[in-house]
Amino acid sequence: FEHHVVVNDPPPQRGKDAVIIPEVGLLPSLQKARKAMDVIIDINSNLKSGLELKRIEDQKRLEKELEEEEERQRQAKLASDARSKEEHSAALAMQNLFRGYRSRKRFRSVVVGAGGKEQKDEKVRQQKRVARVQALF
């Protein structure tokens, strides 16, 4: 199949008045269709690769955000554990303080009796102990 050109027409000119003879026939049409199909396939593959690249980037970003969130949760748990240990040790110190006070009071009531000066000294000591425990908080 060759291009169909009318024989009686003058040859095309090379100027502003040039006449373009359209390619007519089955072969040029198939070639143009094939070129168009190749262009569409290239565009489609570029779009697919672009979408795949975007999906991979989004997945990496999401994984990074999840890791950061896990790290924040781990840090919060460590801080909470440390805080609860401090509260436990302060409560234990207060409990020991009260037990010591109660045992000294029993001992004083049995051995010393109702002494006056010892009770005042004990109140001062007790106030100092309470101040030390309050300083823990």
111-131 pLDDT, tens per residue? 665 555 566 677 888 888 888
Percent of the chain with pLDDT over 90: 18
0.85 exceeded by pTM:
no
Q: In the structure, how many helices (H) and strands (E) does the chain have?
A: 2, 0
Nearest to 129 by CA among 104, 94, 99: 94
> Where are the chain's structural domains?
26-136
- Is residue 114 classed as helix, strand or coil in its secondary structure? coil
User: Do residues 122 and 108 lie in contact, with contact meaning Cβ atoms separated by under 8 Å?
Assistant: yes
Tokens (6 digits) for 56: 């991979």
Judge whether residue 50 has pLDDT over 60. yes
